[in-house]
Amino acid sequence: MTPFFLVNNMSFKQLDLKSWPRIKQYEFFRKYDNPFFNICTSLDVTDLLNAIKNSSELSFSIAMLYASIDMANKIDEFKYRLKDDGVVVYDSIYAGSTVLNDDKTFSFCYFDYSNHFSEFNKLAKKQIDLNKRGVLEFDGRNEDLDIIHYSVIPWITFSSFSHPRNYKTNDSVPKIVFGQYHEKDGRFFMPISVEVHHALMDGYHLGQYFSELQKTINNPIFLKK
Task: Return the amino acid letter for 184.
Answer: K
Question: Per-residue pLDDT for 9 more than 70?
Answer: no
Q: How confident is the model at residue 164 (pLDDT cuts 50, 70, 90)?
A: confident
Average pLDDT over residues 86-110: 91
Distance, CA of 139 to CA of 27 (rounded, Å): 33
pLDDT in tens, 10-62: 599 999 999 999 999 999 999 999 999 999 999 999 999 999 998 988 999 99
Lowest mean pLDDT among 23-27, 32-36, 102-106, 215-219: 102-106
- Between residues 135 and 90, the one the model is more confident about: 90
Show the beta-strand stretches assigned E in 33-146. Answer: 36-44, 80-83, 86-90, 94-100, 106-111
Count of helices and strands (H, E) across the chain: 5, 11
Could you tell me which residues come within 8 angstroms of residue 66 by beta carbon, excluding any fewer than 6 positions away? 117, 120, 121, 124, 222
DSSP 160-223: -------TTS-----EEEE---EEETTEEEEEEEEEEETTT--HHHHHHHHHHHHHHHHS-GGG
Is the backbone of residue 210 left (phi > 0), alpha (psi -120 to 50) or beta? alpha
CATH of domain 34-79+92-224: 3.30.559.10
Would you say residue 141 has pLDDT above 80? no
Distance of alpha carbon 45 from alpha carbon 116, whole angstroms: 20
Percent of the chain scoring above 70 in pLDDT: 91
Where are the domains positioned within the chain?
A: 34-79+92-224
Whether residue 139 is predicted with pLDDT greater than 80 in this model: the reply is no
Please give the pLDDT value at position 10: 56
Burial degree of 225 (CB within 10 A; 0-12, 13-18, 19+)? middle
Backbone angles phi, psi at 90, to 5 degrees: -75, 150
Note if the pTM is more than 0.85: yes
pLDDT of residue 1: 44
Calculate the CA 109 to chain-centre distance. 13
- What average pLDDT is seen over the chain? 91
What Cα–Cα distance (Å) separates residue 113 from each residue in 40, 138, 203? 24, 21, 25
